[in-house]
Amino acid sequence: MVETTLPEVNQIADYLTSVLGQQLGKELPLKRQGQRGRGNYIALRLNPDLEVGPEAYKIQITRGKVECVAKTPAGLFWAAQTLRQLTYLHAPANQIWLPGGEIQDEPAYKWRGLLLDVSRHFMSKEFIKRYIDLLALYKLNQLHLHLTDDQGWRIEIKKYPALTQKGAWRTEPNGTQHGGFYTQADIREIVAYARARYITVVPEIDAPGHVQAALAAYPELSCTGGPFEVATAAGVHPDILCAGNEKTYAFLKDVLTEVAALFPGQYLHIGGDEAPKERWRVCAKCQGRIRAENLPDEEALQGYFTKRVSDMLTNLHKVPVAWDEVLKGGAPSGTRVQVWHGQKQLKEALQLGLPAITSFRSFFYFDLNSGITNLEKVYQAPVSPSTLSKEEQRLLLGAEAALWTEGVPQERVDEMVFPRLLAFSENVWHGKTTQPDLFADFHRRLQQHYPYLDKVGVDYGFETWPVQFVPTYTPASQTFALSLQPGLQNVSLYYSLNGSEPTLSSQKYEGNPILFSTSTTVKVAPYKNGKKLGETAKASFEKHLALYKRAGLKYGYHPVYAAGGEMALTDGILGGEDYRKGFWQGVEKENLEATLDLEKEIPLQEISIAFLQDVNSWIFLPTKVAFYVAGSDQVFKEVPVATAGQSGKTEKPYRLVFSAQGKGKPVRYVKVVAVNRRVCPPGHPGAGGAAYIMADELIVK
């Protein structure tokens, strides 16, 4: 029953009747104001005099009646989602039984969002609408669409047709073509669909960096004139929009005018992240602009650029949102800052009086492996850090999770987003997640919720590492004993020890440790209901003389990149080229200095340790590696280092082994010192930010 004539509330009633009817498998009658209702019923009622927030609601369940009351239609819509959550496991044709009682609820934050990167991998219009429905169920109210980047331009701009004719398509290294875009009619349909579910779609047109797709279509907007192709590789590309060229600003004004007309929400995201300045430093037009505007450097030139773009949005009655890099050159007043680097940048934005959105990479980036950014971490991450003052807290709009899709096509989106989105939605709704018992309660409820995700076809992934390898080593028998832990309940693990790909015909892990006594590569495939879930996990074990000897670290490892903890450098597991697999141990800004006691003198033949470089993840090779050895007298002497290969400037991750020869001399203690460059170098998108060293197994032979 609807106790109002407002169109918005009638629309919510139609929506609720439809979704509950679908769950029950039968049509439910709808009575509007002035029509008499009989039997059990749900009443929707507005009360603008309620002394609550705009999205608050109250549900009272008594015999034969469920009454939903809110101050605004948005509150009533969230009440409808709560009713859906109370009833979604009822089978078709079943009656719904609800316990009597009262619910009073409202969100802690007004910005509760998810970013979908549709540039790197295009997602269909119907897929986007499906995600809008999922966001609505979990009471998230912002969908941030990352529409443009180096790998594709995804929105039709009528004045610049080449943006989609050329910029929306790329040819992959294997010769296949990937692409797609949304017509303006598609965008209107998506926006209307979201608006009916009280979700605002926030478009992002990234500038001045991440514009390779736009430059492929209009190379004259660059500093060099091109030519360019739509990028296939992830990372940060040096060619960005020319800030000294007036054609750039005319282009952006035209584009933003068309975009603003398609999105009725107040916000429009202008990017601003990862814009390398190397082209600007040698561009005559950019240098001329710096002189004409009396700017001190290229960072200030980006500040000038951001101010001009922000003014365009102000004239279009839009509020600019930008990534936290815009703080370096000066963010215009009124800008909403989306903070992804960390608490330092959040504090800086808020102290400038700029409203901010928390999107910390280390907590809320769902492109990171579910082991690094696991379910519990997402749930307990503070949206509002305790270091903020009350005034700063008032400026904090809320939080947004992000799925960047460089390596995530549409068919893998579910497994990256779920179940972590459930932890995020609860975190940002009530903002009280730091108590351990709250997560335990959430985790218990989540297990009961998985059948619903199965029912509606959400191909969710893991809560933590897909497979956690827990090895031990027995020196007496020189045997590894490997235990496996799946990252999701009700998952079966199948494994091989001979390098073959595990299948349902392979050995099934039954809980007993897997034993092996030689250097071995173990492959493990998770299966759920007979279907493979995610990728095959792999761990290579190297047998050597320092296994499970404690490598004392002078400086602690970063808790996010702990790998195997205190034994990570001697547990026998070798890391590959992906730090996200959890086998690399990371040190932030400090040197890696580890000392190993072999417990007795041995004739040393070789020491080696591997380090990782992944510049796009702020991970760099040490600037220097030194080995020292000592006998029982603990008098250390340096031994010469030989590297297997040389470091390079490639953006692709790679592993480099450093080694030293022992020549059979008796040694008890081994020390390795790897010098951290401490901060990202000039020209890097994270220039001045903390640099990481990632270390692998410390091997003694």
Contacts 24+ apart (CB under 8 A), 513-519: 513/472, 513/481, 513/482, 513/483, 514/481, 514/482, 514/483, 514/484, 515/479, 515/480, 515/481, 515/482, 516/479, 516/480, 516/482, 516/541, 517/477, 517/478, 517/479, 517/480, 517/543, 518/543, 519/543
Supply 618's token pair.
């702020």
Contact 662, 544 (CB under 8 A): no
- Return the residue matching tokens 């009575």: 31
At 475, which amino acid appears? P
* Per-position DSSP letters for 651-687, written without gaps between them: SS-EEEEEEEEEEEEEEEEEEEEEE---BBPTTSTTB
Catalytic residues: 274
- Return the residue matching tokens 């019923």: 41
d(CA 652, CA 613): 8
Query: Between vectors from CA 115 to CA 110 and to CA 116, what angle results, nearest 5°?
Result: 150
* Per-position DSSP letters for 244-288, written without gaps between them: T-HHHHHHHHHHHHHHHHH--SSEEEEE--S---HHHHH-HHHHH
d(CA 440, CA 657): 42
Smallest CA-to-CA distance from 449 within 497, 485, 406, 489 is with 489
At 508, which amino acid appears? K
- C-alpha 651: how far from chain center: 20
* Per-position DSSP letters for 332-348, written without gaps between them: PTTPEEEE-S-HHHHHH
Contact 218, 255 (CB under 8 A): no
Q: Which residues contact 512 (CB under 8 A, 6 or more apart)?
A: none
Continuous segment of H or E residues that includes residue 573: strand 573-574
- Backbone angles phi and psi of 48, in degrees to 5: -65, -10
Extended beta strands in 442-501, E state: 467-474, 479-486, 492-496
Smallest CA-to-CA distance from 178 within 121, 234, 246 is with 121
